[in-house]
A and B are shown apart, each in its own frame.
Chain A
Amino acid sequence: AQSVSQHNHHVILSEAASLELGCNYSYGGTVNLFWYVQYPGQHLQLLLKYFSGDPLVKGIKGFEAEFIKSKFSFNLRKPSVQWSDTAEYFCAVTSSTGGFKTIFGAGTRLFVKA
C-alpha cells in the first residue's frame, strides 16, 4: 500500500540547533512531494514542494528539503532553528500511481526551546 513515513514523532531542540526531519514514501512512478507546517492553533500551510528539476528545494523561513529518488526520501532541513519554528510538520506525497490522492505522513511535532 502507498504510504508516507515520518520517522520522528516528537523532536525537541534548542534554538540555533540544526534540524533534519525524515520522510520516506512507498510510491512508484512520478512523485510530487510537499512539506506543510501547522503552527499551534493554525491551519496547515505549505513550506516547500518538489515537482521536478533540482532535487534540493528551498522553501520559506530558511527551510530546505532534498529529494533522493534512490532512497524514496524527502527530508526537511534547517541549519538553525528558532523558537518560532515550534510547530507540527507534515510530509505529503502524490504520485502518478496514486490517482489524485495526497497522502500525508503522521506528522512530527517540533518543540524549540528558547
Chain B
Amino acid sequence: DGGITQSPKYLFRKEGQNVTLSCEQNLNHDAMYWYRQDPGQGLRLIYYSQIVNDFQKGDIAEGYSVSREKKESFPLTVTSAQKNPTAFYLCASSDSGGLSYEQYFGPGTRLTVT
C-alpha cells in the first residue's frame, strides 16, 4: 500500500524544546517537501529536497532543520528558535524532482507548543 506517512498525528511540546516530525514515503519519489499550514495563509514551503543528501530552504526555513539521508525519509525538526511553531505541518513527495509532477501529501501533523 503505497503512500506517505506522517507521525504522530498530534504532537504537544513545551516551549523551548526541539521536536522532530517524521515523514516516510514508499512511492520511490526523488523529491520531498515540508509545508506549514496556518488558517487563511495557505501552504508555505519550509524546506525541499530533490535528491538524497541535498536540500534547499523554502520561504520560511528559519527555526527549522531537515535531513535527507535516505530516499524514503525526510524528517523535520522544529527548533526552539522557531517563534511561532504551533501549526499544521504537511509533508509531500513527487517524482522527477518536482518539475512537472504533482505532489502527494501525507495526512499531516498538528503541532501545539505551549
Q: Do A and B come from one complex?
A: no
Residues of A participating in the B interface, judged by any CB pair closer than 8 Å: none
Q: Which residues of B contact A (CB under 8 A)?
A: none
